Structure 1
Amino acid sequence: MGIDIERARRDTPGCREVAHLNNAGAALLPEPVIEAVAGHFRLESTIGGYEAAERGAAAIERFYTAIAGLIGAAPDEIGYVENATRAWDMAFYAIPFAEGDRILTTSSEYASNAIAYRQVASARGARVEVVPDDADGTISLDALAGELAKGGVRLVSLNHIPTHNGLVNPAAEVGRLCREHGVLFLLDACQSVGQLAVDVREIGCDMLSGTGRKYLRGPRGTGFLYVRRDIVRDLEPPFLDLHSATWHAPDGYVVRDDARRFETWERYVAGQIGLGVAAGYAADLGIAAIEERVTGLAEALRTRLAAHPGTTVLDRGSRRAGLVTFTVDGREPADVKAAAREAGVNVSVTNPIHQGYDPRAEPAAVRASVHYYNTEDELDRLVAALPR
């Protein structure tokens, strides 16, 4: 069964205000998420923050089951973290890298992750190596297999979907290779969870980071971390508090044995509740239906853009997602974004400083990212707003 688009748009107040094609930045929230967050804020304002958390304990716990159900994990393998970057950091910095350990990544890596690689490489003597692309622009599985066969690899880390291109990296195939060689696999899924079917068992990743604000349609300032149960005790979080560990006076402590060892006690409680509601909302619609709708709209937009004079679509990959990047001849991407905004259409501009190792990335481009609540009329509005 497909998605009831009219109902989805009725559930989304922002659809009455703007054609929002910046879902890879932050999607429009649906009413159930808005009400969950606002309702908890109201409760905090009337009975107190600690008391509201006690009363909302069941809703807080539902976050773990909702996220776990969405990505094929167990609730004890999920931790709530304030954003995807911090979730990724908590996993990456928990790995006990040693002198000579190899970290393999891809050319489309996000610059924030690349910075972390370099910091660890400098501090611990690890080596960062970029696996070449295949002809489609995704990570080359043959090249990855060759590098793994050489030995010494501590971690394979890559993005599922990069921030500046519509390609989808072959995560499940990467996971298979990592399992064959007994190598840890960290997947940055901040752009994929909520628009693609993501199953951590099928992918075979050991760790996965995600965000609330993008395709899950959750609140900003929310994220999550998945850590496979079998390895969680091998990872020491880079910092601990009285939630992630238990103090044993006078000089000892015991770290939790589940993924909540990566959490902190203080948190955005209303956001955690809202993110759980967002995950449940997506699951109720059906992630397969969402993926079909999003990828179909994205291809429809690429077709329209390719037919527009002077417009070049930049997306690579044999499989492509809801991010559509393009340039318009003789026009700065920021000017194209401004023209779209004047027409009531939200898009964004990719920033070259955010691109880690990609030798073929454009200095800047327009990024239009669709979601299931968008319509073909909204795609036409964007194309009509483009300068010729």
Structure 2
Amino acid sequence: MNINKFRDDTPGTKKVIHFNNAGASLMPRTVSESVINYLREESLYGGYETAHKNRESIEQTYSAIGNFIHAQPNEIALLENATAAWNMAFFSIDFKKGDRILTSKAEYASNYLAYLRLKEKVDIQIEVIANDEYGQTSVTSLEKMMGENVKLISITHIPTNSGLVNPVEKIGEVAQKYDCFYLVDACQSVGQYPVDVQNIGCDMLSTTGRKYLRGPRGTGFLYVKKNKIENLLPPFIDLHAAEWISEKEYEIRSDARRFENWEMNYAGIMGLKKAVQYASDIGINRIWKRLTNLAEKLRWELAKLPKITVHDIGEIKGGIVTFTVDSESADDVQNYLSNKGINVSTTSKKSTLLDMEERNLSHLVRASVHYYNTETEIDKFIDTVKKIANK
């Protein structure tokens, strides 16, 4: 990998050490310029006119995403973020009284809140799958829970904390034996991990553009398996998702764009397309290998420091590294690092309540690396954290 080229392509690497890729990655120049150029064209010629002129280029986004995750273009819907995409999929399912939702202990707060919101309206059951000895969702436990009234298996692939990579492919093998939906939250995994919807066997998968894809904020997409689209009715539709036929009739689209709405951030979409193409040109397997090696080095170096505890779990770990510093709050550590030109974030119990409570954790520092980071940056990070620990 030509790391120097990727860093030259990324102006932000000259300004900061960016270990907050699980929040929002630094964009390559080609991504940010595509957004700026499109906005400039809109300002000169008009929004509708610019969209019409760039229609073919906009359409290519669906193919670019489809190729990247091994889906068809008509199985892709463009949305403004991962939560919007996930909610559109989830609330499209026709839940009935007594239906069961099986989910993971590491489930993200926004998803679990949706389960609770649904339960207020429909008497469904929310059941949490136990973890295995590695701290990941237990496939064996899932198999024992399967059976009558399971309507949905909903799994966060790579949680917002803990480095964990859940075994979504093995979970998919179980799901395909039953008449239920399988929804994967891939918010942290697309652009980091080799996501292949055929290997996963999921019916729906949601993600964002801003994290490991290195796209702009305000972008995301939803994958829906072609043979499941007709079984899902979006919670709301507009004149883009459906056609008004008569006073009492409408006809909804037959492709995944039934989950979209008419108004879109086309400048952001142009950036998203460039981000997907940029990652595709590098190769997701090369990206995964590089960033996991960097993350392992970071974990190893942190674990050697006094007063530092690394809190990552899972048989397979990704690019997210979480830790605590004795007698220092996560926020204070983040602020100290920020003042030294190092970007990290924090994660708290309110984001992954079940996981954090089980592990008796409240707040963590989250350092998340990407392929354009360097070993030298890790060394500088470790030296800075060492100073915090020695205060």
Bin the TM-score by the shorter chain: over 0.9
Identify the residue that residue 308 of structure 1 maps to in structure 2. Answer: 305
Identify the residue that residue 86 of structure 1 maps to in structure 2. Answer: 84
Identify the residue that residue 139 of structure 1 maps to in structure 2. Answer: 137
Q: 122-131 vs 90-99, which deviates more?
A: 122-131
Identify the residue that residue 19 of structure 1 maps to in structure 2. Answer: 17
CA–CA distance in 2 between the matches of 1:294 and 1:233? 38
Q: Find out whether 1:173 has 2:133 as its counterpart.
A: no
Q: Which runs of 4+ in 1 moved over 2 A?
A: none
Q: Per-residue displacement from partner, 1:98-119 (whole Å, max 9, x unpaired)?
A: 0000000010000110000011
Identify the residue that residue 377 of structure 1 maps to in structure 2. Answer: 376
CA–CA distance in 2 between the matches of 1:361 and 1:300? 26
Identify the match of residue 357 of structure 1 among 354, 359, 363: 354
Q: Per-residue displacement from partner, 1:119-145 (whole Å, max 9, x unpaired)?
A: 112211111000110111100111000
CA–CA distance in 2 between the matches of 1:379 and 1:114? 34
| TM-aligned CA deviation for residue 351 of structure 1 | 2.0
CA–CA distance in 2 between the matches of 1:373 and 1:232? 37
CA–CA distance in 2 between the matches of 1:347 and 1:280? 26
CA–CA distance in 2 between the matches of 1:21 and 1:58? 36
Q: Find out whether 1:207 has 2:182 as its counterpart.
A: no
Identify the residue that residue 126 of structure 2 maps to in structure 1. Answer: 128
For the residue of structure 1 that corresponds to 2:198, the secondary structure is helix
User: How many residue pairs get matched?
Assistant: 385
Identify the residue that residue 278 of structure 1 maps to in structure 2. Answer: 275
CA–CA distance in 1 between the matches of 2:308 and 2:354? 25
CA–CA distance in 1 between the matches of 2:350 and 2:119? 20
| TM-aligned CA deviation for residue 182 of structure 1 | 2.5
8 Å Cα contact 1:111-1:354 kept in structure 2: yes
Q: Which residues of structure 2 form unaligned runs of 5+?
A: none
CA–CA distance in 2 between the matches of 1:356 and 1:50? 44
CA–CA distance in 2 between the matches of 1:6 and 1:347? 22
For the residue of structure 1 that corresponds to 2:31, the secondary structure is helix
| TM-aligned CA deviation for residue 343 of structure 1 | 1.5
| 1:320 partner letter | K
CA–CA distance in 2 between the matches of 1:109 and 1:55? 42
Q: Per-residue displacement from partner, 1:269-319 (whole Å, max 9, x unpaired)?
A: 100111011001100000000000010000000011001111000000000
Q: Find out whether 1:156 has 2:144 as its counterpart.
A: no
| 1:214 partner letter | K
Identify the residue that residue 262 of structure 1 maps to in structure 2. Answer: 259
Identify the residue that residue 366 of structure 2 maps to in structure 1. Answer: 367
Which structure 2 residues correspond to residues 205-354 of structure 1 after superposition, within 5 A?
A: 205-354=202-351
CA–CA distance in 2 between the matches of 1:182 and 1:311? 46
TM-score, length-normalised on structure 2? 0.97
Identify the residue that residue 64 of structure 1 maps to in structure 2. Answer: 62
CA–CA distance in 2 between the matches of 1:356 and 1:364? 11
CA–CA distance in 1 between the matches of 2:232 and 2:338? 45
8 Å Cα contact 1:67-1:276 kept in structure 2: yes
| TM-aligned CA deviation for residue 356 of structure 1 | 3.6
| 2:113 partner letter | I
Aligned-residue sequence identity (percent) comes to 49
| TM-aligned CA deviation for residue 361 of structure 1 | 5.5
Q: What's the RMSD between the two structures over aligned residues?
A: 0.8
Q: Per-residue displacement from partner, 1:31-51 (whole Å, max 9, x unpaired)?
A: 111111111001001100000
Alignment CA distance shift 1:361-1:86 (3 Å): farther
For the residue of structure 2 that corresponds to 1:380, the secondary structure is helix
For the residue of structure 2 that corresponds to 1:354, the secondary structure is coil
| 1:143 partner letter | S
For the residue of structure 1 that corresponds to 2:38, the secondary structure is helix
| TM-aligned CA deviation for residue 72 of structure 1 | 0.4
CA–CA distance in 2 between the matches of 1:245 and 1:335? 50
8 Å Cα contact 1:114-1:356 kept in structure 2: no
| 1:369 partner letter | S
| TM-aligned CA deviation for residue 385 of structure 1 | 1.2
Q: Per-residue displacement from partner, 1:131-166 (whole Å, max 9, x unpaired)?
A: 110111100111000001x32100000100000110
Q: Which residues of structure 1 form unaligned runs of 5+?
A: none
| 1:270 partner letter | A
CA–CA distance in 2 between the matches of 1:169 and 1:81? 24
Q: Per-residue displacement from partner, 1:218-241 (whole Å, max 9, x unpaired)?
A: 000000000000010110000000
CA–CA distance in 1 between the matches of 2:333 and 2:345? 9
